[in-house]
Amino acid sequence: MKNFKCQINVVSRSDGASIVQRSAYRAGQKITDAETGKTYDYSHRKDVCFSYITAPKNSPGWALYPEKVWNAAAKADTRKNSRLARELMISLPAEFTYEERALLVAEIAHYLVKQYKVVVQADIHEPKIFSAEELFKLKGQHAVPMQSAPGFFHNENWHTHILFSTREMTPIGFGKKTRVLDDGKTGRVEIEKIRQAVADMINAKAREAGIDLFMHSKSARRRGSPEIPTIPLGQKGHWAAKRGLPHTTAELNQRIAKHNRTLTEADFDEFLKQPGFTKPSLGMSM
């Protein structure tokens, strides 16, 4: 795992989002939205390899059932612009075992419960699998062979979606809003704290496992790294990549990657001399 990815988004009614549908899709479950009467069935999904839900101590028993939790969350916030949940999307190290990834995600969930007294649903999704024929058509698609299935490949994209409520969970149900995350000033600080905590937990797990891996929560530019970050492909870029078509962003990323490969050890040695930077004991990944 080369790059740290930890994004946080808001699930809001103003976006036309159904938090019940989001929960069902992330967990690969069948759940009914009490507000609309519509049932969302994603139980056919085969890529959800771990699901976990946790809540503060002394929460009501139903706080550990996603269908009841998210229907209650929707009932608590009915305005057309209400924020129903927040969602973290975190890339997980391919170097970790299944157990290490599951323990990491559970630890992140417990951190959020402790910090904000919220209900947390966490689901791990496995990488996308390609046949040799599919991979041939996807020029530039990163993939590695699957040891358990010769002739097939995966893109190493293990990741987790972590949904957590915008209200605190109390012994009698949802309580006050987590305003510290909503405020324009404190919200940014809290998000940075979450990102740093996630990076720290990944690094701690890597040290425990003896894996040469180190994640930074800050971007390469903010750290002053000599590497140039690549640019997200976006919807059109991914569409072109799937069809083996050229795309300006993909071509630019290839040029960036080529530039980064030319960086010498001296470039990084100079970077590591910056005041306040400590080289991690197990190496670094930028």
pLDDT tens-digit series, residues 242-266? 666 677 777 777 776 776 666 554 5
Beta bridge partners of 28: none
Residue 39 φ/ψ, nearest 5 degrees: -105, 130
Residue ranges of domains in the chain: 6-209, 220-272
pLDDT tens-digit series, residues 51-92? 999 999 999 999 999 999 999 999 999 999 999 999 999 999
**pTM of the entire structure?**
0.76
Cα–Cα distance between 257 and 255 in angstroms, integer? 5
Query: How large is the C-alpha radius of gyration of the chain?
Result: 21
**Phi/psi class of residue 199: alpha, beta or left (left: φ > 0; alpha: ψ in -120 to 50)?**
alpha
pLDDT tens-digit series, residues 147-170? 788 888 888 888 999 999 999 999
Residue type, 240: A
Cα–Cα distance between 120 and 69 in angstroms, integer? 10
The CATH classification number of 6-209 equals: 3.30.930.30
